[in-house]
């Protein structure tokens, strides 16, 4: 996955695929900050036409553009003003603190609640509602990733090809 926004940031960066640059989309209107590194799965395409969103749990924040090998453990099922918007939750593959984490049940319930609360509230002051529907497991995450990789393009800045995330 490619990190767009490091954990702890209130700056919402997005990768501009046409310009091959990271741009500041906006600063979050509220006092919340991203609970994990946040970005996209290279070469994927979600239902909204953008690369599939992913949050990665890692011991410390990285930086926009950092490529992180990650292992999916679940998916947050949610929607926003554009429609269905899955958020894959993964752990950093190369961080030994998460080597035994393979499922949502391996994470603390509090961490999952922090992530849910962030996505329920981060657009509130912008008057852009979100609908957080709950967590799905690792197998659901893989199913969603596989579908997004199959729908993906080969125009990815990292050179990733559809179907190569596993």
Query: Residue 85: which CATH number?
Result: 3.90.80.10
Specify the pTM. 0.91
Q: Determine, yes or no, domain membership for 166.
A: no
Does residue 99 lie within any of the structural domains?
Answer: yes
Q: Is residue 161 part of a domain?
A: no
Question: Does residue 24 lie in a domain region?
Answer: yes
14, part of any domain: yes
Query: From first to last of its 166 residues, what are the pLDDT tens digits of the chain?
Result: 999 999 999 999 999 989 999 999 999 999 999 999 999 999 999 998 999 999 999 999 999 999 999 999 999 999 988 889 999 999 999 999 999 999 999 999 999 999 999 999 999 999 999 999 999 999 999 999 999 999 986 554 555 444 445 5
| Phi, psi torsion values for 138, nearest 5 degrees | -60, -40
Any domain includes 160: no
**63: number of Cβ within 10 Å:** 12
- Distance, in Å, from the CA atom of 19 to the CA atom of 113, rounded to the nearest integer, reads 36
User: Residue 163 domain-assigned?
Assistant: no
pLDDT value of residue 161: 45
pLDDT at 154: 54
**Any domain includes 119:** yes
Domain of residue 32 covers 2-151
Count of domains for the chain: 1
């Amino acid at each position: 996955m490619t990190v767009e926004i490091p954990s702890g940031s209130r700056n919402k960066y997005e990768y501009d695929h046409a310009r091959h640059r990271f741009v500041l989309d906006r600063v979050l209107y509220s006092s919340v900050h991203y609970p994990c590194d946040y970005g996209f799965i290279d070469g994927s395409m979600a239902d909204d036409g953008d690369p599939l969103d992913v949050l990665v749990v890692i011991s410390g924040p990285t930086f926009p553009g950092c490529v992180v090998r990650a292992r999916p453990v679940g998916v947050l099922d949610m929607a926003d003003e554009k429609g269905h918007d899955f958020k894959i939750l993964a752990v950093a593959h190369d961080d030994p603190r998460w080597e035994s984490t393979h499922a949502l049940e391996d994470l603390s319930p509090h961490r999952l609640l922090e992530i849910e609360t962030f996505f329920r509230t981060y657009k509130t002051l912008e008057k852009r509602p979100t609908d957080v529907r709950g967590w799905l497991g690792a197998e659901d995450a893989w199913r969603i990733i596989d579908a997004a990789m199959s729908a993906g393009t080969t125009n990815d800045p990292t050179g990733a090809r559809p179907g190569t995330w596993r």
